[in-house]
Structure formats: C-alpha cells, structure tokens
Structure 1
Amino acid sequence: MNIYIDEAGSFVKPEQNKCAISTVGALILPENKTKIIFSKFEALKKKWGFADTEIKGSQLDESQVNSVIEMLSKYNVMFEVVAIDMNLEENDITTEHKLNRAQKLVDSITEEFNENLIQYIHNTKQEIESLPNQLYVQVTLTIELLIQIFQKTTLYYSLRKPKELENFKWMVDAKNMNMTTSEKVWSELILPLAQTRSFEEPLMMLNEGDYSYFFKNRTRGEIPEYLIPHVGERDPNDFSELNSVFSDITFEDSKNNLGIQLADILTTAIRRSMNGNLQKNGWKNFGKVIVMGKKQSITLRSISEEANPDKYETKPPYNEVIGDLNKTTKSI
C-alpha cells in the first residue's frame, strides 16, 4: 500500500480563547488503484484550473473538497487523522512532556548496549530536547498516526485487499531539501515506540482476515533476548517483527507527488472543518473514506492530561464534526 502523509496547522497555542485545531493526516491508497486515482485527480485539477500546478487544500471550497472525497471513496482508500486543540495545551506542560520522553531514552540504556548505540541514544535525547514545542507536538502526533495506521490497515485490508499488507510504503511531505531535525526524530523513534506499544496492546487480528501476505516476509513469535523481560509471560505469537513495516519512509516534495497533494487536501479540510471554517457540505461525506477507530472516527489527542474543552462558553465546532462522522464512517 502507498501511504501519503501531511500536516495542517501551526501547532501553536493561540492568543485568543478559541479552538485551534492542528492535524496530521494520511491517505492510504491500494497500490493497484494508485495510478487510476491519480488520473482522476489530475482530471479534477484540470477542471479547476490547476492542471500544471500544485494544489493546496486551503484553495478549495466545499464543493471541490467533496468532489475529492467522492472520487476517492470509490477505491477502498483509507484516510486517517490525528488532531489536537492547541488552545487546550499549556507550554510548560508540553516542555515537561518533551524532556521526560527524552530522558526515558537514556534511562533505557543497559549494560548490553555498545558504545555506538549509547552515543546514538544520547544524541537523539539532545535532538528531542532541542525541538521547539510546536515541532515536538507535531512529532508526537505523527508517531501516533503511524501506529494507528498500522493497526487499522492490518484489520481493514485483511478482509478486503490482503495483498496490500505485503508492503508499507510511507511518503511524507518534506519541508526542506535536507531532512529536518523533527523529521529525523520521529522517523527514528517510530520503530521503538511502536514496538513498546505492541507490548501494551498486541496487534489485533481477525479470525476472518487473510494475513498470508503480511507474514510473507516477516517473522512472528521470535522475540529478541533483550526484549524478553518486557514481554513477560504473554504468548510470543502476539508480537510480530515491525522493522519492515516502518523501514520504507521517504520525504518528498509535494509539488511532484499527487498522493501528498491529496493528503494535504484532506488533512487541511478536516482541520478547517474542526475549526468551523469549512461548512458541512464540504465535510459531511468524510465518513466514506475514514474507518472507525476504537472510540471515534477522528483521534483528538492532548499532551496535557488537564486539557478540557469545557473551558469554552459554547461547544467547539469539532464536537459536531466528530459526532456526525462517528455515525457515518466505514466499519472495519
């Protein structure tokens, strides 16, 4: 499968007391449908006067956004998004969260680690600590997004397109010619954090699902010796090798990547919707491309445990968006 990732928003706490949603989103396309989807998208771009230029989600109105959703809904695609209301976050709590996560890396060092690995961990700790808080929040949401995509796609495509589970190809909107510190941090942290999450929440699998392609090139039930203390008495077959899942990550210029342009349109549209800046005609059909999660359609994340939307005098716009989409999203 081909997975295209982009973000929308500043991830900065606003000066005014109003909701300030920022989002990280991903469009997942079946590999055998990617070419025809791009062809349909190029036809829409030509119709709108963007034939030879990059198109941004902020440029589209409700009707155009809905046209993109309707086109994508015909091809068994998935759209996954993690959002945060920065108005509910506090900078000092974010800083504490960042420093604690950096310190946990060093705390994980044992006598079995060689000098090179120890130095690498200390360097990563310094990189995390150096991140401005808004980039740290974006990194945190991106990692959460990738983990959720892995879980949902293995469930959804095992019942519909099992061959898509053979390869995971991640393409991310690059911000510079060279990889930024934040991009380096999350791409290096995703594997160990996904592995840690798998100890707490082993990968869910359906009895009816076909996982033959997923396990074609991956081992299962072989736990490295240094991880055995973390696994405890649980069945080793509950865990699978994740290196190949998160190994193919590239950072690409959105100008040359139609998949990232589509991800930008959807991610920006969800953000605009949740902030009350895109009317319902633009977002009402998002449920056709979103797969329902454990609790709701859109993951609304917070760094602070004290984040509370009750601070608003009226309910924030995203309550209606999430509530409506919870009723219309695709089921696993």
Structure 2
Amino acid sequence: MHIFIDESGTFTGVGADAPAVSTLGALIMPSHRLPKLFKKYGRLRLNLPTRKGEVKGSLLDERQVAAVIELLRINGALFCASMIDLADHSPEDIAKHRERRSAGLAANLTHGHTQELRDSVAALQERMAGFSDQLYVQGAVTIDLLYNVMQDMIVYHCQRFPKELGEFNWVIDAKNPGAVTNWEDWWSKTLVIWLQAMSLVKPGAMIPGGDYRHFRRFIFDDLPEYLRDVAPPADHSRGAGIDLQKMFGESFRFSSEPEPGLELVDIVTNALRRGLIGNLGEAGWLPLRGLMIHRSEVYVSPVGLLPPDRKLARALLPTMNKFRLGGRIMATPSLAWPEDEPAAAK
C-alpha cells in the first residue's frame, strides 16, 4: 500500500469573519496498481498546467480536476481527508487545546517507565511548546486524518486486495527541499504516539470474514509494557493490538520532488478546499465523493479544537452535506454489514 499526504491552505485565520479553511488529504493506493496509474497519469499530465515543472492543483480547472479524479477512481484509489475552519476558533482555544495535548503525552507515564522514555516525552513536550499555532493546528488535523486513514484502508482492503496490507509506504509532501525540518521530525516521531493511544482506547472494527493474513505481522502478540497500563482488555478481533510504530515506521519519508503520487494528492486535496470555499465549481470537486468511503455522517467534517461546551458554527454545512452520497461502499456484497444495505440502496 502507498499513502501520499499533502495539505492545502495555511492553517491560519483564527477568528476570521469569513471561513478560514485548510485541508489535509491522503491518497491510499494499491501498490500493484501504481505502475499502470502513473503511466496513464503521465499521458494526462502533458495537458495539465505546471509551475516550475510541477503540476499544482490550484492551476487546474473543473474539467481537468474531474479527469484526474476519474483516473484515480478507475484505478482503485481512496481519498481520505480532514479539514478545519479556523474562523470558528480563538487563540485561547488553540492554547488550551495545546496544553491538554501536551499534558496527555505524559499522562500515562508511571514510575515503572524508564528514565530514557520520560526524558524523551519531556523533550517532545518542549518542542511542541515552541511550535507556532499554525504548525500546532496542522498537527492536530494530521492526527485526525491518519486515524481515519488507518481505519479505512484496513477494512476496505482486507476484502479486496489483502496482500496490500502487508506493507505500508508513507510519502509526505516536504516543506523544505533538501532537509527534514524540526516540525517534520516531531511529526514523524510524536503523532504515532497519539495514534497508538487512540487505537487502544478506540480500536477500529475488523470485519468478520476479512482476510487479515498479511496484516497479521502488524498485530502485537503481547502488548509492550509501556502500553499495558492504558490498553483495554486485549481484543484482537477489533484490532486493539495493532503495532503502529511498525505500521508507520518501516517506510516513511518526506519528499519535495514532483513525483506523481504527490502531484495527484495535491490536486484532490486542493480541489476539496477550493470546493469548500467556493473557488471551484461542483463539476470539479463533487466527483471526489467517488474516491471516499460512504459512511452515515458526512465524508469530511471540520476538526474542532474547542472545549466540550462549545460547538462549531458549521458555516460550511451546505457544502459538506453534499458529501453524504456517492461514496464507495465499505463492505463487499459477500461481507456486507446490515447497516450498509440502506446506504447502498440510496
């Protein structure tokens, strides 16, 4: 499996009068289909506008975006996205959320943990405190995205191409060509810690009858000592024992090269944001639904960094509601869950 990740927007605009939307997207692609997909994209790319030799989604019109989406759809790509509208937030909201997240890093440390681990957590907290609000917000949205990616790709492909679950290749668009930034280093080392905790507290469903033979190597035989205090009783049928250090760590890189996978994820992630803010017509962004997993709620909804007693204003709700139909059905007919049937009928 190859997963390409990119962002669109600046993750700024706290408290703005108009929606201040930023999006983060992931293209999940079966590795065995990449050669054919990239060959076809190479032909399509000849007619796409470029900037400094790189195709940028912001330069494409509705027809061009729709053509790229259709190419991805027929070649089995999935698109998973998260977004935030910072107009709904205040600086105080961001600061308090950062405090809670920082405290959460060390919340489960006990006297039984090594001093090395405790020192590492303290160093991560110090680095997080030094990030701008912009980078902190992007990190929070990234956590939301990666958790959803992990859930979607495992359940979807255990029914279709189970061999793809034997290896995960993560490619992230780099911010600084030629060097890994402090942010990117923290990104790759810290987010997996939060994701591991989330997967233990809220494990994803593992569909009965799915083929997990190739994925089995990512499931703990025994939880490491540092996770035992926070994990619920082991339930491998629901994926509580997934080793995310291995899933994210075996093949993970930042790239600033104009490689096909990163150009493609830039196009679709940018199209989503342009659609949400009204800078791209429906003919361009509405086909994105065909790359997304159908679910009971909207396919992409805002991440909120708010206290529990406040709700998002949802100024984008009319557009988001368009992402309720047209998605890929998760379960195949032979393994369909009862709740899938009404959705398919729609």
> What TM-score, normalized to structure 1?
0.91
How far 1:244 moved relative to its partner? 1.7
CA distance in 1, matches of 2:295, 2:167: 22
Give the whole-Å Cα distance in 1 for the aligned partners of 2:52 and 2:38: 14
Query: Where do 1:179-328 residues align within 5 Å?
Result: 179-215=180-216, 217-235=217-235, 238=238, 239-240=240-241, 241-247=243-249, 248-255=251-258, 257-293=259-295, 295-305=297-307, 306-309=310-313, 316=315, 318-328=316-326
Structure-1 residue corresponding to 2:125: 125
Q: After superposition, what is the alpha-carbon deviation per residue over 1:269-310, rounded to whole angstroms, capped at 9, x for unaligned? A: 100001111111111211111112452211321111424326
After alignment, is 294-303 or 280-289 more displaced?
294-303
AA at the equivalent of 1:308: L
Contact 2:48–2:60 at 8 Å: present in 1 too?
no
Asked whether the equivalents of residues 174 and 256 of structure 2 are also in contact (C-alpha less than 8 Å), the reply is yes
Instruction: Check 1:186–1:271 CA distance in 2 against 1; reply closer, same or farther (3 A cut).
Output: same
Q: For the residues of structure 1 that align with 2:204 and 2:64, how far apart are their CA atoms?
A: 37
**Aligned equivalents of 2:323 and 2:91: distance in 1?**
30
Secondary structure of 2:244's aligned partner: coil
The equivalent residue for 2:328 is 330
Q: Provide the rounded CA distance (Å) in 2 between the counterparts of 1:48 and 1:272.
A: 18
How far off its partner does 1:190 sit? Answer: 2.4
1:93-143 CA distance string (max 9 Å, x none): 101211221233234332223232222111110111001011101011112
2:342 paired residue number = none
The amino acid that maps onto 1:120 is: S
5+ unaligned residues in a row in structure 1: which ranges? 311-315
In structure 1, C-alpha distance between the alignment counterparts of 2:320 and 2:263, rounded to whole Å: 24
Q: How many residues align?
A: 324
CA change 1:107–1:231 in 2 (3 A) is closer
Question: Kindly tell me: are residues 15 and 223 of structure 1, through their superposed partners in 2, closer, same or farther at Cα, counting changes over 3 Å?
Answer: closer
Matches within 5 A, 1:48-67: 48=48, 50=50, 53-67=53-67
Unmatched runs of 5 consecutive residues or more in structure 2: 331-346
Alpha-carbon RMSD across the aligned residues, in angstroms, is: 2.0
Query: Shift in Å at residue 237 of structure 1?
Result: 5.5
1:178 aligns with 2:179: yes
Within a 5 Å distance, the mapping from 1:90-105 to structure 2 comes to 90-105=90-105
Q: Deviations over 1:218-261 (max 9, x none)?
A: 34451223433323445366422222211121001142x11011
- Deviation at 1:329? 1.0
Structure 1 consecutive aligned stretches of length 4 or more whose deviation exceeds 6 Å? none
Maintained 8 Å contact 2:6/2:173: yes
Letter in 1 for 2:324: N
Give yes or no for contact 1:21–1:83 (8 Å, CA) kept in 2.
yes
